[in-house]
Amino acid sequence: MNLTPEELRHWDRKAHWHSFTQMSEYEPLIIERGEGCMLYDIDGNGYLDGVSSLWCNTFGHRHPKLDAAIRDQLDKVAHVTNLGCSSVPAIELTKRIVELTPGDLDHVFYACDGSSAVEVALKMAFQYWQQREDPRPKKTSYIAFHEAYHGDTLGSVSVGGVEMFHDMFRPLLFSVHRLPSPDRDHLPDGVTAGTACQYYLDQLEAVLKEHHETLAAVVIEPLVQGAAGMLVQPKGYLRGLRELTNKYDVLLIFDEIAVGMGRTGTMFACEQEEVTPDFLCLGKGLTGGYLPLSVTVATTKIWDAFLGTYGELKTFFHGHTFSGNPLLCATALATLDVFEEEKILEQLPAKIAHLEKRLAELVDHPHVASVRQCGLIVGVELIADKETGQEYPWTERRGWRACRHATQNGVWLRPLGNVVVIMPPLSITLEEIDRIVDAAKAGIDAAVAPCGE
C-alpha cells in the first residue's frame, strides 16, 4: 500500500485515534523517517527531536547498533512466550539488569509499557503482604502524590494524580492516601528552599504514622514528576522517603519509566541519593526508544514471598503475551552495549552543564515563572504575571503555542500545559542543544504575545 500524502493525512485525521489528542482539532504531522536526532516528515521537512519522541529515544534514530540487533534477532526467532518458557535474549537481559541495578534488585518481571510495569509493582506489593511468612492482610492501600502520572491502566491511574487526565475515571478507581507533590519550586507560604525537604518528609511521616498498618506501598517518580510539568524534588527527599518507609514497614515503588536510563545524569535516578527501592519500574529508553519493553525489578525479599508449591497458589498470576519478547530484549541488550561502548554517561556532565548555561538566559524572562532542570530533563513554566504570580488560563494553550512555533522552525517540542518541555536524546550535541534552546526561546516569545497576534 502506497498512500499519497493527502491520503495519509485523510486517514490520519479520520480514523487514527491519537493519544491525548482532541481529534476535532488535530492537524497531522506525519513522520516518514529519522536519522540521528532528526525526524523528517512526508513533505521532507526536518525537525530536531527535542523531546526524544516522548521521552524515550535514547541515542537518536537509526542507531546502527540497535538496527543490527533487531535484524540479527529476526534471523533467529521473533517471538517466544515467557509463560513457562524463555529465550536467550530475555535471560541475557535479565542478567544485565540485575548487574546494573542497585542493592538487591535481583529479579526481573517483563511487561511492555510503563503503565503495565507500574501495575505489576502495585499487584506484587499487595500480594506480598498477603502471603509472606507472617502475612499482613490489612496492608492493602497506597500513598501517592498529587500531579503524579504512572500510566493509564486503572491501577496506575488510581495512584496517578493529574486531574485533567484522571478525574473522569474516579468511579472506577481505588482510593489512595494522596500527598502534595514534593516540589522545590512551588513552595507553600513559610517554607523555604532550606526547609522544603523536611517539610515534605514531615507530611509523609504523619500519614505513615497514622496508616502504616494498612499501607502496602508508596509509589513515586523519583527526582522529577514528569507529566506534572517536570516538578523537581528537594535534594535529600528520596533518602528520607526510603528511611521512613523502612521505619514504618511500608514498601517503596520507584517509577523510573521516564527518569531512568540516563535521563537525570546517572543510569537510574535513585542512584543520585544512593537509595534502593523494593520495586524499580523501567521502560521507554530501555530499548533506546525503539520498541515497547518495560520491566519491574524486585528485591529478593519480594521474590521469596512468591515461592512455594503449585498448590499453595503463591504464583504471581499476571502476564502479557509479549513479556520478555526476544526482539525487544535483543534491542535492550544493544542499548546497554551502546551505553558502555560509547561511554554515554561519561559524556552527559558536559551536555548537562551546557544546557544549564543556555537555560540561564530564560530565568529572567518576564513570562517565565521557573526553569526546572534535572540532568537532560527540563521544564520551562510560563506565567502571565511574574510579579503577582498570575497564571495563564490553561485554555489559552500558551505552552502549545510556544511548541508549535518551535516546531514550525524545525525543532520538535511538546508541552505539558503551560510548561515547555525539553528532553533531548542523550546523544544530543552541544550545537543541537543550542538550536533547541534558541527555538524554545523564540517560541516562548511568540506564545506570550497577546492571544490573536
Whole-angstrom Cα distance, residue 8 to residue 28? 9
What tens digit of pLDDT does each residue of 393-422 get? Answer: 989 999 999 999 999 999 999 999 999 999
Confidence band of 158 (pLDDT split at 50, 70, 90): very high
Tell whether residue 321 is among the known ligand binding residues: yes
- CA dist., res. 166 & res. 158, Å (int): 8
Average pLDDT over residues 1-5: 90
Q: Over 70: is that where the pLDDT of 311 sits? A: yes
Least confident of 58-72, 304-318, 439-453: 439-453
> What phi and psi values does residue 342 have, to the nearest 5 degrees?
-100, 5
Mean pLDDT of 280-305: 98
165-172: average pLDDT = 91
Sheet holding 31-35, edge to edge: 31-35, 38-41, 46-49, 411-412
User: What is the percent of the chain where pLDDT is above 70?
Assistant: 99
149 is in an annotated binding site: yes
Q: What pLDDT score was predicted for residue 451?
A: 62
Q: Mean pLDDT across the stretch 277-300?
A: 98
Q: What is the pLDDT of residue 166?
A: 87
Question: Does the pLDDT of residue 453 top 70, yes or no?
Answer: no
User: Is 255 labelled a binding residue?
Assistant: yes
- For residue 320, how far is the Cα from the chain centroid? 21
8 A C-beta contact, residue 237 and residue 272: no
**8-state DSSP, 62:** S
Q: What is the mean pLDDT of residues 145-154?
A: 95
Domains of the chain: 5-59+343-447 (3.90.1150.10), 68-341 (3.40.640.10)
Residues 6+ positions from 105 with CB-CB distance below 8 Å: 98, 276, 277, 280, 297, 298, 299
Q: What pTM did the predictor assign?
A: 0.96
What's the CA angle centered on 365, arms 398 and 445, to 5 degrees? Answer: 45
Residue 282 to residue 272: CA distance in whole angstroms: 16
Residue 450, pLDDT score: 81
> CA-CA distance, 309 to 436, in Å (whole number)?
56
Question: Residue 238 corresponds to which cell in the numbers above?
Answer: 528520596
Residue with cell 535534594: 235
DSSP H stretches of helix in 167-296:
196-211, 237-247
Question: Whose CA is closest to 335, among 426, 442, 252?
Answer: 426
DSSP one-letter string for 314-330: -S-----TTTT-HHHHH
pLDDT of 388 above 80: yes
Return the amino acid letter for 203.
Q
Q: Is 320 annotated as a binding residue?
A: yes
Q: Would you state the cell numbers that stand for residue 91, as one nine-digit string?
A: 535471560
- At 164, the pLDDT band (50, 70, 90 cuts) reads confident
Cβ–Cβ < 8 Å for 30, 44 = no
pLDDT above 90: residue 140: yes
Dig out the grid coordinates for 393 from the structure: 488560563
Residue pointed to by grid coordinates 507530611? 203
Residue 236 reports pLDDT greater than 90: yes
Whether the per-residue pLDDT at 452 is higher than 80: the answer is: no
Supply the pLDDT for residue 1: 79
Distance (Å, whole) CA 15 – CA 423:
30
- pLDDT tens profile 45-100: 999 999 999 999 999 999 999 999 999 999 999 999 999 999 999 999 999 999 99
414 known ligand binder: yes
